[in-house]
Chain A
Amino acid sequence: MRLKNDSDKLKYSNVWVVAEVLSGKIQPVTHELLGAARSLADAKKSKVWAVLLGHNVKEQAQLLIPYGADKVLVVDDSRLSGFSDELEARILVRLIKKYKPEILICGATTRGRALIPRVAVVSECGLTADCTELSIDPVSGDFLQTRPAFGGNIMATIRCPFHRPQMATVRPRVMKAPDADFSRNGEIIFEEVTESDASKIKRILEVFHSDDVAVNLADAQIIISGGRAMKGPEGFKMLGRLAARVGGAVGASRAAVDAGWIPYAHQIGQTGQTVQTKVYISCGISGQIQHLVGMQSCNLIIAIDKDPSTPMMQMADIAVVGDLFEIVPGLTEEIVKL
């Protein structure tokens, strides 16, 4: 809502985390956000609430408390088994009206990025996408949200002085998940789906979850990425073996995806996904700007290429000059031995 005056701000309190559950499991990003919410709530001397929407999620609600939730709002309904943006948005809008959180954060996952804009528009408040840094302005008490734009070439800090709640989606793997503290206490509150929430919602006909960790780029700590140099699908199988060894995911440049060697879900860059992992191992990717914008925020970048002069080799933290068809299998083998 747009605030009428400054004292209107006082009507809003607490930091909400919208939890994400996939195939019955709370996603790591939710734990990370609970950690971030804790420090925001401490700065504001308020509480952390988690909001959990799903089907058969009652047990999961309890599991949010050890990570820092003081209260958990649960909506458990069979209509929430698939991802219906309209339904989830209406529920959230209603709960926001009822409980008036000051801040709401959600993972910048495909679901979060589709859902929260809808909530923000209807709730008449601002929304900052893909944040990587969150804090409270000591002077105004406003929520400061910092995010990369222009493919990571600029960091912008944003606030919403005249609207509440203040909303942000936050990139997975950027905030640190707290250690679980099973002695923490918290309260669980159940809410229902109303008839009007559930009117005019999409019908989910089919859901396919892949168990293959190699494709989930958002959740990975390590990405092994290949480009045109992989020469074909076989090359990506070689990367897959290394990824499996280190529990990482496989990424690709557009050149490799366009050649049909690996599905689009693996593409990193301007027309693919943006990733921010701990480690990014680039194998035969020259590092054109369209690829770099998708991965330049990774913590440690390792490049393997036979040409030391490519942009990727120049920007990498570690540049290995050599033939990747020997180095990658060598690495896989040595890591087994460790």
Chain B
Amino acid sequence: MKIVVCVKQVPATNDAKIDPETKRIVREGMQAILNPFDTYAVEEAVQLRDKFGGEVIALSMGPEKAALVLREAISVGADRGLLLSDRAFGGSDTWATSYVLSKAIEKIGGVDLVICGKQAIDGDTAQVGPGIAAHLDWMQAACVMEVCDADKDTITVKRMHEDGYDICEMSLPAVVTVVKDINTPRVPTLKGRLASDKSEIPIWKPEDIGAQSSKIGLDGSPTRVVKTAPPPIRNSVTKKITGTSAECVKELIAELRLRSIL
């Protein structure tokens, strides 16, 4: 099974800064991590390869230092990494990002399965996985909590929904996005770390994947951020309730009534 796992480098949440001019994330000087959901995507890819044979290719689009998250994927078992990095990719929204990733997947060739995280913690959109599937016209399953079965032509997965789950069978090639429940990611071994330090990470440009310039970067992105603002300020005064447990219960109930919740 030839598996591509899409991984994204994201700012550690509390570190996010937005450029007031360009409205884009300031990625310079931020503390960057591998998107937490993607650690489960990598682990699932490695487990499937170990079971069915084949190869795991970690793929990312981002600035050159995003190579770090690819090395992280290699240190826990991915066979190789590929980075899509070019100024022209900058400013891509989910439409353009999923286009670029899908072109790279086509270029890699012979891919059976693409695994993404459920969502990235910066954009929080969960749109790139299904977007890749749409560009490729492959089947997709989002919020996968278990891969039940697979062979060379099909994969059967369990999807998590708000009100339960379902199990569905897709023909390959397909795209899945995974939630945390699916596995427990391993920690890198010393050997894994050494392998990841040594591995070459090729950098692909738009021309390497045959991406049309009108479909990438800001030009290829239908959405425009017109404004960013801090969230509405919460009622910043905290009403403190103390006393014996019985007193606390009484006062809390009174508060809830006051706010017409009870």
A186 within 8 A of B: no
Whether the Cβ atoms of A335 and B156 lie closer than 8 Å is: no
**Which B residues lie at the A interface, using CB under 8 A?**
11, 13-14, 16, 18, 23, 36-37, 93-95, 98-99, 121-131, 133-135, 137, 139-143, 145, 156, 159-171, 179-181, 221-232, 234-235, 238-246, 248-250, 252-253, 255, 259, 261-262
CA distance A297 to B140 in the complex (A): 30
Closest to B255 in A: A318
CA distance A120 to B95 in the complex (A): 8
B227 pairs with A203, CB closer than 8 A: no
- Whether B13 and A150, one on each chain, are in contact in the complex, defined by CB atoms closer than 8 angstroms, is yes
* B36 touching A271, Cβ below 8 Å: yes
Residues of B within 8 A of A89 (CB): 134
Would A300 and B261 count as touching, CB distance under 8 A?
A: yes
Please tell me the number of chain A residues within 8 Å of chain B, measured between CB atoms: 100
Nearest chain B CB to A33's CB is how many angstroms away? 16
CB distance from B142 to the nearest CB of A (A): 4
Q: Would A153 and B16 be within 8 Å (CB), given that A215-B163, A300-B259, A320-B252 are in contact?
A: yes
Check: A122 CB closer than 8 A to any chain B CB. Answer: yes
Residue of B nearest to A153 (CB): B16
CB neighbors of B among A226-265 (8 A): 246, 263-265
Say yes or no for A152: interface residue by CB 8 A criterion: yes
CA distance A203 to B141 in the complex (A): 11
Contact A114 B140 (CB under 8 A): yes
Q: In the assembled complex, which residues on chain A have CB atoms less than 8 Å from the CB atom of B235?
A: 317
Known pairs A153-B231, A156-B225, A321-B241. 20 more at Cβ < 8 A?
A83-B159, A85-B130, A111-B161, A117-B134, A119-B134, A120-B127, A126-B223, A154-B228, A154-B229, A160-B222, A162-B222, A201-B139, A302-B252, A308-B240, A315-B234, A320-B252, A322-B244, A323-B245, A331-B253, A338-B253
Chain B residues within 8 Å of A217, by CB: 162
A198 at the binding interface (Cβ < 8 Å): no
Looking at B134, B160, B170, the one whose CB has the most chain A CB atoms below 10 A away is: B134
Alpha-carbon distance between A204 and B13 when the two chains are bound, in angstroms:
36
In the bound complex, how far is the Cα of B171 from the Cα of A184, in angstroms?
45
Q: Does the CB pair A204–B166 fall under 8 Å?
A: yes
- Which of B37, B121, B162, B250 has its CB near the most chain A CB atoms (within 10 A)? B162
Q: In chain A, what residue has the closest Cβ to B102?
A: A121
Q: Are A319 and B240 in contact (CB under 8 A)?
A: yes
- Please name all residues of chain B whose beta carbon is closer than 8 Å to the beta carbon of A274 when the two chains form the complex: 124
CB distance from B232 to the nearest CB of A (A): 8
B239 touches A86 (CB 8 A): no
Interface residues in A68-90 by Cβ distance below 8 A to B read 82-86, 89
List 21 A–B pairs whose Cβ atoms lie within 8 Å, in order of A's numbering: A82-B168, A114-B130, A117-B130, A118-B131, A121-B95, A121-B134, A127-B94, A129-B127, A144-B226, A155-B228, A156-B227, A202-B169, A264-B179, A265-B181, A271-B37, A274-B124, A290-B13, A319-B240, A321-B241, A327-B245, A330-B248
